[in-house]
Amino acid sequence: MLLKVMNKPIIIYFASSNKDKLTEIKSILLQNRLSKNIRVTLAPKGFSVNENSNTFIGNAAKKAKTLSKKLKVYAFSDDSGIEVFALDRKPGVKSARFFRNGKGLLEIVEKVKYRKNKKCCFTCAIVFSSPKGKVLFKTQKSWFGMVSEKPKGKNGFGYDPIFIVPGVNKTSAQISSRLKNKISHRAMAVASFVKWINESYKHLTK
Measured CA to CA, the distance from residue 138 to residue 79 in angstroms comes to: 11
Measured CA to CA, the distance from residue 120 to residue 173 in angstroms comes to: 16
Helix (H, G, I), strand (E, B) or coil at 112: helix
Q: Is 68 exposed, middle or buried (0-12, 13-18, 19+ CB in 10 A)?
A: buried
Measured CA to CA, the distance from residue 130 to residue 136 in angstroms comes to: 7
DSSP class per residue in 18-63? -HHHHHHHHHHHHHTT--TTEEEEEPPTT-------SSHHHHHHHH
Residue 119 contacts residue 144 (beta carbons within 8 Å): yes
Measured CA to CA, the distance from residue 22 to residue 27 in angstroms comes to: 8
Told to judge if 88 belongs to the known catalytic residues of this protein, a careful annotator would answer no
Which residue, 52, 159, 148, is CA-closest to 98?
159
Write down the catalytic residue from 20, 78, 79, 88.
Answer: 79
Active site members = 79
